Amino acid sequence: MSDDPTTDATARCWLVDWRRRIADLYAEVRAVAATDPPAAWARWRAEREALYRGHPQSPVPAAERGAFRALHWPYDDGLRFAAEVHQAPDPGSAPASASGLRRPLSLPNSGADDLAFDRVGLVRLALREGDARLPVFWMRGYSGGLFLPFGDATNGDETYGAGRYILDTAKGADLGGDAASGTLVVDANFAFQPSCAFDPRWACPLAPPESRLPGRIEAGERLR
């Protein structure tokens, strides 16, 4: 989200259009990925690059959009998981208040915003380096939504120094899952940079230390 207070009504309408297009893209991705994840990923790559280059609400600065080209690692089918969301204690949240409600936690943020989250559980991923856990957060603002950021050893070189996102369902970035079995599709090939990786005028929640994965996750969007 941009923290520019001068954003006018036209810009906000374009922001709605951006979110609509992202939601439509992920709906297509979920449908295609049911039988062909690499084809879904190729469509995701192409459409996101087109939006980055041509949309008025692209996070890429306007002067750089014409020359922008998206970079990705090749698709790795070993980094796609149907991951069960396990209940887990929330060590990052303050104790419950007198009313019995758990106080929200704050994740690192690239701007001045202080967004409220709940830690709703964790997913276990069978990585080549060994099993790893990632916390799953729920954003209290907007209309709510699951948020799954992560860091890894590519940060600060090939990828943004503060990590990337896999899921941000409040913004339409939703790879699907099975509500009955409590699973989420966690596919690192669809990992993307937060908007602030392209321009500091965007304020973004960032991956906390507990969201750092071991080794290098050579999948998804890269900067270099």
- Residues 207 and 136: their CA atoms lie apart, in Å, by 11
- Residues 204 and 213: their CA atoms lie apart, in Å, by 20
Structure confidence by residue, pLDDT tens digits, 5-37: 446 899 999 999 999 999 999 999 999 999 999
What pTM was computed for the model? 0.90
- Residues 188 and 77: their CA atoms lie apart, in Å, by 9
Q: How many C-beta atoms lie closer than 10 Å to residue 39's C-beta?
A: 13
β-pairing, 177-178 with 164-168? Answer: unpaired
Q: What mean pLDDT is reported for the chain?
A: 91
For residue 143, what pLDDT is reported?
76
Which ranges constitute the DSSP H helices of the chain?
Answer: 9-33, 37-54
Average pLDDT over residues 144-160: 97
Instruction: Give residue 195's pLDDT band: very low, low, confident or very high (50, 70, 90).
Output: very high
DSSP run (H or E) holding 184: strand 183-187
- Residues 91 and 103: their CA atoms lie apart, in Å, by 12
For residue 102, what pLDDT is reported?
67
